[in-house]
């Protein structure tokens, strides 16, 4: 009996040790290592793209910097892991990355069966088609019989099949594992058409030998809400990442930006602004971070409009208007829950 009790005691102690080893939250892990590990694309201008020095830029990149700013007060405390479409979810599930911020579409399968949580939509998009101008094609409905280049492991292939089947058209799919392979094949004339999200087409077009020789057709054949993703199982981390985006959207709506945030911090009388910047209420405490989290995001990275305009907006090479990504009160559908 004593031996049996000893065995149970040992098993219990081992169980407690195992539980303790697993008990560290994602926030604790991130703070312990001193940076956020962010999964990004292997190179998509406007969203996540490295320069010759390995310095990353883009909308998805800036969002990860905003998360780092909220936690550390320093937007540089982030490291980037380039991932293919095929490998991106595995890297998140395994814990190799803390956030996936990689032009990724929110779907029911990904949100449920893969054990992932989408934290919001940083860019409302839709799939489109790009073709050479000399093909003299004006509509996607004229593409029957075309060969189409696309990337494996994306929602693009299914959307492509659905669209051509719904319109009784035939096509040949030519699929590749990476964006660069897709673009090179299309540029070399190995297919008639390139298809992906329209924002992606704007970025990939810049990589072509003669960008002006190509046109994006007017049809949008799908809904592609793109946004950051975290793994199931840690509600605190889920809350932090989603409220970073909500803070940026609320800041734009309230007229708070990186240039006036210090003045607003000292002089604002609007209670919504005071709650956003942490001078009223203790809204950071509920997430395990400082109550000045909103101020740190805006000071170090900016509001949503600043982030958008720097990376994909009308004054960038992508020249993307806000469209659906405008605030709800300015003709778009971007809308954030209130901080209160």
Q: What are the tens digits of pLDDT across the range 178-230?
A: 888 999 999 999 999 999 999 999 999 999 999 999 999 999 999 999 999 99
- Which pLDDT does position 154 carry in this prediction? 87
pTM: 0.89
- Which pLDDT does position 22 carry in this prediction? 56
DSSP string for 113-141: TT-EEE---SEEE-EEEEEEGGG----GG
Q: Which of 290, 259, 252 is nearest to 273 (CA)?
A: 252
Residue pair 294/276 in contact (Cβ under 8 Å)? The answer is: yes
Collect the ranges in the chain with pLDDT lower than 70. 1-23
- Which pLDDT does position 216 carry in this prediction? 96
Token pair for 200 = 């992606």
- Which pLDDT does position 255 carry in this prediction? 98
- Which pLDDT does position 178 carry in this prediction? 87
Within 13 Å, how many C-alpha atoms sit on residue 207's CB side?
Answer: 21
Q: Which of 176, 142, 138 is nearest to 157 (CA)?
A: 176
- Which pLDDT does position 218 carry in this prediction? 95
Token pair for 218 = 């007017």
Q: How far is 179 from 196, CA to CA, in rounded Å?
A: 10
Q: How far is 331 from 334, CA to CA, in rounded Å?
A: 9
Angle at 302 between CA 127 and CA 41, to 5 degrees: 40
């Amino acid at each position: 009996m004593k031996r049996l009790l000893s065995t149970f005691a040992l098993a219990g102690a081992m169980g407690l040790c195992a539980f303790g080893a697993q008990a560290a939250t994602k926030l604790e892990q991130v703070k312990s290592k001193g940076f956020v590990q962010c999964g990004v694309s292997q190179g998509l201008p406007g969203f996540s793209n490295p320069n010759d020095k390995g310095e990353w830029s883009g909308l998805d990149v800036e969002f990860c910097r905003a998360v780092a700013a909220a936690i550390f007060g320093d937007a540089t405390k982030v490291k980037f892991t380039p991932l293919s479409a095929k490998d991106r979810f595995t890297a998140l599930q395994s814990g190799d990355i803390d956030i996936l911020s990689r032009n990724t579409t929110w779907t029911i399968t990904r949100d449920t069966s893969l054990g992932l949580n989408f934290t919001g939509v940083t860019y409302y998009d839709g799939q489109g088609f790009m073709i050479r101008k000399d093909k003299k094609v004006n509509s996607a409905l004229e593409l029957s019989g075309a060969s189409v280049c696309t990337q494996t492991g994306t929602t693009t292939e299914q959307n492509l099949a659905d669209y051509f089947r719904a319109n009784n058209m035939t096509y040949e799919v030519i699929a590749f594992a990476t964006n660069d392979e897709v673009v090179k094949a299309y540029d070399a004339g190995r297919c008639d058409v390139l298809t992906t999200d329209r924002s992606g087409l704007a970025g990939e077009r810049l990589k072509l030998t003669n960008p002006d020789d190509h046109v994006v057709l007017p049809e949008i054949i799908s809904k592609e809400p793109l946004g950051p993703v975290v793994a199931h199982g840690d509600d605190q981390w889920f809350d932090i990442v989603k409220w970073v985006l909500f803070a940026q959207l609320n800041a734009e709506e309230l007229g708070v930006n990186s240039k006036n945030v210090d003045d607003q911090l000292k002089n604002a009388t609007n209670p919504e602004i005071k709650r956003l910047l942490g001078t009223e209420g203790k809204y950071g405490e509920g997430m395990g971070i400082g109550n000045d989290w909103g101020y740190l995001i805006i000071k170090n990275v900016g509001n949503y409009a600043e982030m958008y305009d720097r990376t994909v907006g009308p004054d960038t090479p992508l020249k993307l208007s806000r469209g659906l990504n405008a605030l709800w009160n300015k003709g778009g559908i971007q809308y954030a829950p209130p901080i209160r």
